Structure 1
Amino acid sequence: MAKTVHEDLFFLPKVDYFVHRVCMPDWVIERQLIDFHDLTYVVEGQGEYIVDDVAHPVSKGDLIYIKPGAWREAATSADKPMVLYAFNMKLMDKACQPTQLPLPLISKLERNPKVDHLLERIKQHVALREATSVMLTTALLMEVISEILLTTGLVQGSGSDPRVQKAAAFVMENIHRHISAGEIGAAVGVHPGYLNKLTMKNTGKTVSRFITNIRVNMAEDAIVYEGISVSEAASRFGFSDIYHFSKVFKKNKGYPPSTAKTLLR
């Protein structure tokens, strides 16, 4: 069952094995009974995972989650070898008891610059093997898991009500310009006043704050992970000018957009 916006989610991974693998054409995983969580993201190529003797074709953008106690085997396509990130890990809840992710065996993860960036940072920390690398890798993987749950809609929030989800999609599609509550209501098929009740119930924000939150979060991601300037972010995400953008950003985040890259990278 999906969590509500008022419940805490906590997943603490202990990574036993991590790899960024560029598969050779003859790459396989031999059949084995696993006692860990396998979380694998296919960046490129095609292949097949066989879980409990059921074959599942996988391709670019697929996220594979295999729970402990499953029989697992895999192979890549020789013509289109896979490039993948894979984690073998233990997983605990906030009481340090074994738990599992609310993910299906196979899900589609659309390209996400933030996830790409986090995975690259994990790769770097694993390669460095410094005293703090395990802590940093764990924190980054927790952020990857959080991003996956949010972007796939598996965590109840703006995605818990299809009308709020449609409202978020409309805002993102028209992020470059001013958007009124009336426009969103018309796109979703509800009165603006009722839309406000829906966003308050599902996200804890008024429609206006809901729109601003999406704008600011998308702008911050673009500044940090795409490297665009504050001026470009203001223009791309529908703010009238850089001064208005900076004021709204700081009010929402507690720091100016000019420092976001330094603080978050």
Structure 2
Amino acid sequence: MDYKEINPQIEYYINRRSTPNWIIEDATTHFIDLSYFSSGKALYKVNGEYYEVNQGDLICIPQGSRRSATTDANNPMESFAINFQLYDIKGNDVELPFPLISHIGFSEELLSLYNELTLVWLKKSPGFEIKARALLLMILHHYFKRFYYKINVRNIDSRIQKSIRYILSNLHKPIEVEELATIAGVTTAYFGTLFKKYTGSSVKDYMNKMKISNAENILISGEFSVKDAAYKCGFEDIYYFSKLFKKIKGYPPSKILLDKKMTELAVPAPNSTNESSRSL
């Protein structure tokens, strides 16, 4: 199925810090139990099978499962546990395509999302349900990348994350590698090696792809010319911009504006049919 329009509804969320005698009583779940373990050990029993979970593990227990659990008294577990319903756009139940248990490891991005969800859930400001649902979708997207889209998920170095945020905030101007290395606090040579390790791309190629994707998005709006889009993405030479755009996207930037114009011409003006009928 297409998971792009899933709609999660959170019933309960907790950053669980278990005591040595913590247990989950044996019962059938009427929700999906998605729990990420940040430390300690626990033993889960799901549908008659036992599963040991450790730090960095994720357990995804489908709705309608028989579940119970205990923790290791000498090493009590800590986890982020979300109990929720999952529907498609038509309101039908959806099952997650995740294994029952898997090892995720440490992820700064994931912990940041869970910590923000904890704050939102406990603070319960007006409309918190919307933000909590959005954060859960971001968490699910992290897992979808790994289990469904089969993307090689790396725990990106915080220095590289910082430089990427800077790139995305400054797509409108030229950026030098030396500038990014300074932000990351490393030498230029080491920064290039580190960046490629975590992104699989050179700094220059990464920046060009982001800038061209940004230009594509600008052109799709129909509000700017090719020249405007080039300048807005830090390119002074429009011919180089057009050549690079075609190399990365496979078509020239002018095609976007042409296609948009053709689409607009093909759409009848409002009330044109009625006016034609009246004239007859």
TM range (shorter): 0.5 to 0.7
1:98 paired to 2:93: yes
CA separation of 1:127 and 1:245: change in aligned 2, threshold 3 A: same
- Which residue in 2 is equivalent to 1:237? 195
Q: TM-score, normalised by structure 1?
A: 0.62
Task: Select which of 149, 156, 160 maps to 1:156.
Answer: 149
* Residue 230 (structure 1) shift: 4.2
Superposition map of 1:9-28 within 5 A: 9-28=4-23
User: Post-superposition shift, 1:122?
Assistant: 0.4
Who is 1:162 aligned against? none
Alpha-carbon offset, residue 251 of structure 1:
3.6
Q: Unaligned stretches of 5+ in structure 1?
A: 160-164, 176-215, 257-265
Please give the per-residue CA displacement for 1:27-65, whole angstroms capped at 9, x wherever unaligned.
Answer: 000001111110011110111000112111110111111
After TM superposition, the score normalised by the length of structure 2 is: 0.59
Structure 1 residues 173-184: aligned runs within 5 Å: none
CA positional deviation for 1:145: 0.4
SS at match of 2:19: coil
1:186-237 CA deviation, whole Å, 9 max, x = no partner? xxxxxxxxxxxxxxxxxxxxxxxxxxxxxx989537989xxxx944458342
Amino acid at match of 2:36: Y
Change (3 A) 1:223 1:33: farther
SS in 2 for 1:156: coil
Q: Take 2:54 and 2:19, find their aligned partners in 1: how far apart are those partners?
A: 15
Residues 41-60 of structure 1 aligned to structure 2 (within 5 Å)? 41-60=36-55
| Compared CA separation, residues 50 and 81, structure 1 to 2 (3 A) | same
1:107, distance to aligned residue in structure 2 (A): 1.1
In 1, distance between residues paired with 2:68 and 2:166? Answer: 38
Distance in structure 2 (CA, Å) of the matches to 1:143 and 1:106: 20
User: Contact 1:114/1:221 (CA < 8 Å) preserved in 2?
Assistant: no
Contact 2:43 2:70 in 1 (8 A): yes
Does 2:140 correspond to 1:145? yes
| Number of aligned residues | 193
Shift in CA distance, 37/222, structure 1 to aligned 2, threshold 3 Å: farther
Greater relative CO, 1 or 2 (CA 8 Å, sep 6+): 1
The DSSP-based 3-state class of the residue aligned with 1:237 is: helix
RMSD: 3.5
Match of 1:39 in 2: 34
Q: Give me the whole-angstrom Cα distance separating, in 2, the residues matched to 1:223 and 1:21.
A: 36
What is the CA-CA distance between 1:110 and the residue it aligns to? 2.3
